[in-house]
Structure 1
């Protein structure tokens, strides 16, 4: 299955099929379905190695950034099976988890505005269908259409290659998130408009 979302107009809604099942990729309007996305984050991460079992014993993983961010979901039979968010920032210091990485490394890349890709999650039974790439492409297209200069990503190791394939550069490791104290997170950047 390959679905390319190169047209910036496709960041709103795209229908596609996998093995005779229909899926819908769509951008949500705030604050639509935030609780469901938060519950999916816990469901998808709670059994992963290196996460805080105490933190993931909660019903949902939501934070203040969710109220300001843009959100995309993939639906199957009206149920959210994958989700991701992106937030916009004028300066690096306001990016989620900016304190966990030395922002001075970005000096050679110019200034914002920045977009931050985060909270990508796919329900375990739907992994391996390319949903992460679809959500990445939709967010990149949206950032490009809105004049963003650079996109920051903070992926786990398994996502580095996929982001490199989309033009992101690997810049190093960040200190662990308290929600995932034994899971290494990395720092990547993609310059737009070059």
Structure 2
């Protein structure tokens, strides 16, 4: 399978819907579902993000994004992570919104998308640090890329943060050489 970049408006709509479909099959379904997000799940970073997709027969099977932000405060819900020491200052790349269709999970798409994003970053002239927010199931694969855990936070499930669960959320940083 091949990873490609897209900014195609129809594919972006499909990505937003894919996110909802993927999150509905998880512990996040109470906060991210088709009823809450009938037009798909998107935020302020999507319009300027680099969107990576894996397609087969015209259908997006998996997607992720990569955003360059001038500072961490531009990341949605960044205030939740203010207790983490050693957060980078200034511009950072932000890994986010990994979504893989349920029936294609466990087939390597997550790693394929991660590798594509790192490869993209290695070709960029400015080597800003990369910030990642992840649950425990993602830590090993992100560490294999070279990411280091900066810390973890416990976010109350009643928070507006849509990915709040009883499980801690980890903040990781990757330096691109």
Q: Same fold (TM over 0.5)?
A: yes
- The verdict on how the C-alpha distance between 1:175 and 1:87 changes in structure 2, with shifts beyond 3 A counting, is farther
Equivalent runs, 1:147-166 vs 2, <5 Å: 147-166=126-145
1:26 Cα deviation (Å)?
Answer: 0.5
User: What corresponds to 1:180 in structure 2?
Assistant: 163
Supply the distance in 2 between the matched residues of 1:175 and 1:61 (Cα, whole angstroms). Answer: 23
1:83 aligns with 2:63: yes
Supply the distance in 2 between the matched residues of 1:25 and 1:129 (Cα, whole angstroms). Answer: 14
User: What corresponds to 1:25 in structure 2?
Assistant: 3
Flag as ranges the 4+ runs of structure 1 deviating above 6 A: none
Instruction: Give the one of 23, 27, 30 matched to 1:53.
Output: 30
Q: TM-score, normalised by structure 1?
A: 0.78
| Paired residue secondary structure (2:45) | helix
| Paired residue secondary structure (1:75) | strand
- The verdict on how the C-alpha distance between 1:104 and 1:156 changes in structure 2, with shifts beyond 3 A counting, is closer
Q: Is the 8 A contact 2:81 2:153 kept in 1?
A: yes
Q: Is the 8 A contact 2:84 2:152 kept in 1?
A: no
Supply the distance in 2 between the matched residues of 1:43 and 1:173 (Cα, whole angstroms). Answer: 27
1:35 Cα deviation (Å)?
Answer: 1.1
After TM superposition, the structure 1 stretch with the greater mean CA deviation from structure 2, 170-179 or 150-159, is 170-179
Structure 2, gaps ≥5 residues long = none
Instruction: Give the one of 3, 10, 13 matched to 1:35.
Output: 13
User: What corresponds to 1:191 in structure 2?
Assistant: 175
Q: Is the 8 A contact 1:151 1:192 kept in 2?
A: yes
Supply the distance in 2 between the matched residues of 1:52 and 1:181 (Cα, whole angstroms). Answer: 11
Q: TM-score, normalised by structure 2?
A: 0.85
